[in-house]
Amino acid sequence: MARMTMIEAIRDAQDICMERDDKVVVFGQDVGYFGGVFRCTKGLQEKYGPQRCFDTPINESGIVGAAIGMGAYGLRPCVEIQFADYMYPAYDQIVSEAARLRHRSNKDFIAPLTIRMPTGGGIFGGQTHSQSPEALFAHVSGLKTVIPSNPYDAKGMLIASIEDDDPVIYLEPKRLYNGPFDGHHEAAITPWSKHELGEVPEGHYTVPLGSAAIRRAGSDVTVLAYGTMVHVALAAAEETGVDAEVIDLRSIVPLDLETIKASVEKTGRCVIVHEATRTCGFGAELAALVAHHCFYSLEAPMVRVTGYDTPYPHAHEWDYFPGPARVGKALLHVMETE
């Protein structure tokens, strides 16, 4: 076991996959010599050479399009889009090509890609360094979309993603890169070395895609969250005293519906939390699924705590970000609702 940050865990996962399989290649903007603007690919070019880890032109469609061609050849590209906010030029390649290649060619060609993207806010990133576009991927048939919340999962899920034969959108909450963040921005930052999920096994292991994790068992209300919001929800439960069961979905497609159902059937209440904007966000899908599958167990209307339906602001970071106060209020509200 070693103590790692999320950055180190992500780097380690790529290192292990490159070591084990010559077909794994890593590329994107600034990921080569420099090791990535967040250091997630540090040292990989030095270790594996520029044939396996290299810088690309600033062209997201080119990065993903080239990766699809490589996948069709038989490689396993793990590529980086510098910020999820900049994935839009690649969207045609992701949606029209990577997601559909296996289906439209009847397995003649596949796209075993992993597309890494730092996501989420809480860093004064403003409009184009804070977005959470997961719903735009979850809506697309043929894509897997995953979002780890800690170093242990980050490594195990990234290895699982690279080894997966389907295209995986791997969203990295950048606010969690160096330490867990519960939304208390005024407090000192805790590093991952002081957190139990900063314990990361050495070598190869996987966290299966499509499996949720219960981070806090509880009996009052089920909280469905992923990424940074997992830590916010845990803080909100402690601060309100509501005995919330906090589920870290980890993967939104495929979704671990069984874990969600079992929890809501037990608690009878459900709060859904995400950073992304509300309307047609992934929370809407979660609410629809819970309503359909757990209708007779529900004792109160579900509540969504999300980013507002506005572009992500700069000066109003902490008004926008769904922090522990907003989540806590929702927990208390569903407990009071009959």
Partner 1 sequence: MIGNKVFQLHVPEPQCRPGDTPDFSGFVVPEAGAAARPPVDVDAENIHNLAYDIIRVTDDEGRAVGPWAGSLTDEEALKGLRDMMTVRSFDARMLMAQRQGKTSFYMQALGEEAVSCAFQAALSPGDMNFPTYRQQGLLVTAGYPLETMMNQIYSNSADPLLGRQLPIMYSSKEKGFFSISGNLGTQFIQAVGWAMASAIAGDSKIAAGWIGDGATAESDFHSALVFASTFRAPVILNIVNNQWAISTFQGIARGKAATFASRGLGFGIPALRVDGNDFLAVHAVAKWAAERAHLGHGATLIEHVTYRAGPHSTSDDPSGYRPKTEAADWPLGDPLERLKKHLIAQGIWSEERHAQAQAEIDSDIIATQKRAEKNGTLHDGPHPSPKDMFDDVFANPPAHLIRQRQEAGI
- Asked if 163 interacts with partner 1 (CB under 8 A), we say no
CA atoms of 317 and 334, how far apart (whole Å): 26
Residue 303: count of CB within 10 angstroms of its CB: 20
Is 129 catalytic? The answer is yes
Among 110, 260, 287, 302, binds partner 1 (CB under 8 A): 110
Does residue 128 belong to the site contacting partner 1 (CB under 8 A)?
no
**Contact 269/235 with Cβ under 8 angstroms?**
no
Q: Per rule CB under 8 A, is residue 144 in the interface with partner 1?
A: yes
Is there a contact between 12 and 152 (Cβ–Cβ < 8 Å)?
no
Told to check if 253 binds partner 1 by CB under 8 A, we report yes
33 binds partner 1 per the rule CB under 8 A: no
How far is Cα 38 from Cα 30, in angstroms, rounded to an integer?
10
Site for partner 1 contains 166 (CB under 8 A): yes
3-class SS at 294?
helix
Residue 105 in contact with partner 1, rule: CB under 8 A:
yes
# residues contacting partner 1 (CB under 8 A)? 45
Q: Does 89 bind partner 1 (CB under 8 A)?
A: yes
49 contact partners, CB below 8 Å, separation of at least 6: none
Note whether 263 and 222 are within 8 A (CB): yes
One residue of 37, 66, 284, 332 binding partner 1 per CB under 8 A: 66
CA distances from 277 to 74, 280, 304, 329 (A): 37, 8, 11, 19
Candidate ranges 64-72, 114-122, 261-269, 300-308; the one touching partner 1 (CB under 8 A): 64-72
Q: Report how far residue 214's alpha carbon sits from residue 141's, in angstroms, rounded to the nearest whole number.
A: 27
How far apart are the C-alpha atoms of 209 and 223, rounded to whole Å?
20
Q: How far is the CB of 109 from partner 1 (least distance, A)?
A: 5
State yes or no: residue 75 binds partner 1 (CB under 8 A). yes
User: Any contact of residue 211 with partner 1 (CB under 8 A)?
Assistant: no
Q: Choose the stretch contacting partner 1; rule: CB under 8 A; options: 31-39, 70-78, 187-195, 219-227.
A: 70-78
- The residues of the shown chain that bind partner 1, judged by CB under 8 A, are 25, 51-52, 56-57, 59, 61-62, 65-70, 72-75, 89, 92-93, 96-97, 100-110, 141-142, 144, 164-166, 210, 253-255, 257
